Copies of this chain bind each other. A is one copy, B any other.
Amino acid sequence: MSFNTFGHLFRFTTWGESHGPALGATIDGCPPGVPLDAAMIQQWLDKRRPGQNRNTTQRNEPDAVEILSGVYEGQTTGTPIQLMIRNTDQRSKDYGDILNTFRPGHADITYHQKYGLRDPRGGGRSSARETAARVAAGGVARAAIGAAAPGVQVTGYMVQMGEKKIDRDRFDWDQIAQNDFWCPDAQAAAEWQDYLTWLRKDDHNSVGAIIEVVARGVPAGIGAPIYAKLDTDLAAAMMSINAVKGVEIGEGMAAAALTGRTNADEIFMGNDGQPVYSSNHAGGILGGISTGQDVVVRFAVKPTSSILSPRQSITMDGQPTEVVTKGRHDPCVGIRAVPVGEAMMACVILDHILLDRGQTGGVRGRIG
């Protein structure tokens, strides 16, 4: 895992700047013989794509993925898969003022301090646009999971926008695809819509969010102690997404407030001869290894830093200035983080399935 590469055996390197000619992902280690075509990847990119509704940036890019290598007659060959997405709608003028000004909350100042120069167009490499490449890589991971462990299902959704949380009693898997927020609670979604419209139009403001991603059907026994734990890799995966400030597994930060008795996931034998648990405070992971329960990760996305309200900052010359961002920006960048979180989960799960069969050969200790 180095600089722009993620993963152990299933590794992807993302490349490209927001307003360069293209961006993409170089995937190494995908198993051979996986059915794959561009449409299988495109469906996930379409889910992330900006410009789809009034709540996300109006930048309208088709984000059409091209497979440049690694696939022959509809199947992966085991060689590197190059996925390229051309940047078509670049309107650089919107970003002209970034050239000499450091936007608060953005990486402009730290890139400048580290590298001595930066590509200022649209945030360059630090733009959320990089996440399109991850979503494309996640599409390949999903295809490969489909071949290696067909029962696995990865689903992400928003559980909180600003201070407004979903009501878990109204949780409905079928609602997730029905609204603009990937929200499993229809009533919350409706309230969020009103709130966000006001926030964007009247308050000239933005807001944070919490995303939850669940992998169902993950076999027990994947994950690798100590520094390649399943939860360690998930934490790294999610924290690497732009604007993410916190990651939780299962009970998460709230585990601090629990006692040993309340936090215990008691174990029983299920009817199918497999262990079952009384609860899932652990989020499906014990000692870094999957239990067979749902793997549950949550992450917090900070509010979009680019807002119409003026904020104080400095120029490259060290002069004070005021920043007001007039470009096209998401009032809640968390919405588009949903498919990104899903993609990262899919990549981590696949990676650990491969690692596990490499190291253990799929050995599984019997119970009962």
Contacts and interface: CB of A to CB of B under 8 A. Distances in A.
Given A109-B267, A223-B110, A268-B312, A205 B13 contact: no
Nearest to A279: B104
Interface in A64-122: 66, 68-70, 72, 75, 77-82, 84, 102, 104-107, 109-119, 121
A260 B304 contact: yes
Given A207-B259, A260-B307, A289-B110, A105 B365 contact: no
Contact of A364 (B113, B254, B260): B113
A14 interface: yes
Contacts of A148: 361
Nearest to A283: B245
A46 interface: no
Contacts of A226: 3-4, 14, 125, 130, 240
A29 B2 contact: yes
Interface string A172-197: 00000000000000000000000000
Interface in A307-321: 307, 309, 311-314, 316-320
A260 B363 contact: no
Please name the 9 residue pairs, one residue from A and one from B, whose CB atoms are nearest each other, closest first.
Answer: A107-B287, A358-B358, A318-B368, A206-B260, A110-B289, A235-B239, A15-B80, A32-B115, A208-B256
Most buried by B among A80, A112, A162, A361: A80
Contact of A260 (B205, B287, B320): B205
A314 to B, nearest CB: 5
A236 interface: yes
Contacts of A359: 3, 9, 29, 31-32, 78, 354, 358
B318 A273 contact: yes
Contact of A302 (B240, B281, B287): B281
Query: How large, as a class, is the contact surface on chain A?
Result: 35 or more
Most buried by B among A106, A222, A235, A313: A235
A159 to B, nearest CB: 9
B117 A365 contact: yes
A62 interface: no
Contacts of A234: 239
Contacts of A301: 255-256
Contact of A114 (B104, B282, B312, B364): B364
A246 B245 contact: no
B300 A79 contact: no
A332 to B, nearest CB: 10
Contacts of A254: 246, 300
Interface string A5-17: 1101101011111
A258 interface: yes
Contacts of A246: 246-249, 252-256
